[in-house]
Amino acid sequence: MNAWWREAVLYQVYPRSFADSDGDGIGDLPGVIARLGHIHELGADAVWLSPFYPSPLADHGYDISDYEAVDPVYGTLADFDELVRQAHGLGMRVLIDLVMNHTSAEHPWFADSRASRTSPRRDWYIWADPRERGGVPNNWLSAFETCGPAWTLDERTGQCYLHSFTPGQPDLNWRNPEVRAAMQKVWRFWLDRGVDGFRVDVAHRLLKDARLRDNPAELAHARRHVSHPGLRMRNLDLPETQEVLRELRRTLDSYGGPGGERVALGEVPISDDRRLAAYFGGDGLHTAFHVAFWEQPWRAAAFRETVDGLAVLTRPGALPTYALATHDISRAATRFGAGPRLRVAATMALTLRGVPCVYYGDEIGMADVPPRAGRALDVDGRDGTRAPLRWDAGSSGFTTGQPWLPLGPAEVNVAAQREDPGSLLSLYRRLIALRRASPALRAGDYRSVEAGPDVFAYVRSAPGERMLVALNFSARLVSFTPRALPADGRAELSTGRRLTGTRVSLAPLTLAPDEGLVVRLEEPS
Ligand code: GLC
Ligand code: MG
């Protein structure tokens, strides 16, 4: 039997913005519990929760001040346990965010570390002397433009600490065995509470050059991974990182029995697939987001190239995770435009070979909601993609209070789309149901098909079943004749008006403008 996650559809909940149960304008865990039915009806197999731990919000929860608690704004540990219990009761798994590259600057470990040069936990973080005349220790940059260098001078001890993100997120020193042991305890804390796995935050950053050498001059401008022939960055993507990921994997494996495998989904923001491919499908991370996938412009050839490219680079049997957006990435409706393209994009994300992950609100076509002028909250301009979900048109259903970020337009809401068979939400449900029912789509092989510049087409095949997926990225009628396929098939699903079950000629195949189509190919008898 395939491990559950290999055939799963994931759903990302950003807890602050999903559903607010107590009227403070901030989504919370009881809110998620109350809305689990929506995720279940959609057909998702697992929920990934972005951080809900105590946090001073330098980076909206990705700065954690206590790894073994729930921030009171989101509820209690009892609420978390109840969420896991109810999700499991519905047959869904729960993944949580594991942020272990850095803690919050307000974590007691860091308080201890910064207290003096001889603190017991001094070496839990990465400290270095400033260069002469107050300069930073080396040329590494924070991932965020607004944060400048990756170092901040701590006056008290006259040394700088490393922070790959905001100064409120000091990087842990993973070369220190005590740090590893402390984090291992965190993994176990949540695994013992029944979580089915982790989404591993910036998994490629855990280790840094032990001598803190400068990045090569050609890469000195890089805030995130940049490839350069013959050169490697020294503050991320180090080979030793795999040791930590393997240790995590061994721990996960020690919990998971048959059917109960605990999974590590990597967030590895590397756009170069040659490097990304090294991170998953081996004895470390099970899977990782295909980062280049959400960076493509709306062009069939661009998506085909990136999907095919990663497929040839990955280890045998490895599966990437495909998302159209996350809490860091502008929404599909904003990048591609609301309308028929969203239907084509959904068809693609839910029929590729990999693990689809739906970002909350994408199933109703939410677009980014820019913050009001002067009211931006995020350090890196990501408020837009994190707008609260509108459950209904009237009072929004998100909160009875003042939402922490502005809501999007009232028309884009769950209730309006629920009963409408032509809605995007209904299409998502149909796609997920089709995937679940089809061995070829759920677990089959993948091979792209030559289909001209406007169409991304591929065949998914499993023993006894073959499906052709053809996605028209243009607003024109397009015809092409896929090679080495039967002369016809039956429509399983179209994003346009074509009816399910109707015969589809493949010689040639004509797609309506902006049509995404799944065709069942008759097996030669
Ligand atoms: C990951 C998170 C992002 C966060 C960063 C630092 O990229 O997805 O939201 O800002 O890590 O933790
Ligand atoms: Mg609340």
Model confidence pLDDT, tens digit, residues 162-172:
999 999 999 99
Mean pLDDT of the chain: 97
> Which ligand sits closest to the CA of 170?
1
As a whole number of angstroms, the distance between CA 481 and CA 258 comes to: 44
Top mutation candidate among 49, 328, 330, 380 for ligand 1, by most atoms within 8 Å of CB? 328
Digit-coded pLDDT (tens) for 420-453: 999 999 999 999 999 999 999 999 999 999 999 9
Q: What is the pTM of this model?
A: 0.98
Digit-coded pLDDT (tens) for 35-87: 999 999 999 999 999 999 999 999 999 999 999 999 999 999 999 999 999 99
Q: What residues does CATH 2.60.40.1180 cover in the chain? A: 445-521
Mean pLDDT across 14-26:
98
Q: Where are the alpha helices (DSSP H) in 366-494?
A: 414-418, 424-437, 439-443
Q: What residues does CATH 3.20.20.80 cover in the chain? A: 4-101+177-436
**For ligand 1, atom 7, which residue shows the shortest CA distance?**
202
Q: Which atom of ligand 1 is nearest to the CA of 62?
A: 12
As a whole number of angstroms, the distance between CA 306 and CA 316 comes to: 17
pLDDT band for position 132 (cuts 50, 70, 90): confident
> Which ligand sits closest to the CA of 403?
2
The secondary structure of 413-436, three-state, reads CHHHHHCCCCCHHHHHHHHHHHHH
The pLDDT value given to residue 308: 98
Q: Residue 15's closest CA among 77, 94, 74? A: 74
Contact in structure between 5 and 47 (CB atoms under 8 Å): no
> Which ligand sits closest to the CA of 382?
1
- Distance in Å, CA 37 to ligand 1 centroid: 28
Top mutation candidate among 52, 59, 382 for ligand 1, by most atoms within 8 Å of CB? 59
Contact in structure between 429 and 412 (CB atoms under 8 Å): no
Share of the chain above pLDDT 90, in %: 97
Q: What residues does CATH 3.90.400.10 cover in the chain? A: 108-162
As a whole number of angstroms, the distance between CA 67 and CA 52 comes to: 10
Strands across the sheet containing 455-462: 445-449, 455-462, 465-472, 516-521, 488-494, 503-505
**Residue 260 pLDDT exceeds 90:** no
Domain 108-162: CATH class, spelled out = alpha beta
Residue 209 Cα to chain centre, angstroms: 27
The pLDDT value given to residue 508: 97
The arrangement of secondary structure in 4-101+177-436, i.e. its CATH architecture, is Alpha-Beta Barrel (3.20)
- Distance in Å, CA 386 to ligand 1 centroid: 13
User: Which residues have a catalytic role annotated?
Assistant: 201, 267
Interacting residues of 365 by C-beta distance below 8 A, sequence separation 6+? 332, 333, 338, 342, 412, 424
Q: Which atom of ligand 1 is nearest to the CA of 63?
A: 12
Hey, which bits of 33-136 come out as E strands? 46-49, 93-98, 127-128
Top mutation candidate among 104, 165, 236, 382 for ligand 1, by most atoms within 8 Å of CB? 165
pLDDT band for position 121 (cuts 50, 70, 90): very high
Tokens of 162: 């490393």
Maximum average pLDDT range among 68-77, 132-141, 254-263, 516-525:
68-77
The pLDDT value given to residue 381: 97
The arrangement of secondary structure in 445-521, i.e. its CATH architecture, is Sandwich (2.60)
The pLDDT value given to residue 155: 95
Tokens of 201: 């935050």
- Distance in Å, CA 119 to ligand 1 centroid: 29
- Distance in Å, CA 498 to ligand 1 centroid: 41
**For ligand 1, atom 6, which residue shows the shortest CA distance?**
62
- Distance in Å, CA 21 to ligand 2 centroid: 5
**Residue 258 pLDDT exceeds 90:** no
User: Where does ligand 1 bind, in terms of residues with CB under 6 Å?
Assistant: 59, 62, 99, 165, 201-202, 267, 269, 327-328
Burial class for 317, CB neighbours closer than 10 Å (0-12, 13-18, 19+) = exposed
**Residue 191 pLDDT exceeds 70:** yes
> Which ligand sits closest to the CA of 404?
2
The CA-CA-CA angle for residues 276, 280, 282, to 5°, reads 135
pLDDT band for position 1 (cuts 50, 70, 90): low
159 strand-pairing partners: 154
pLDDT band for position 522 (cuts 50, 70, 90): confident
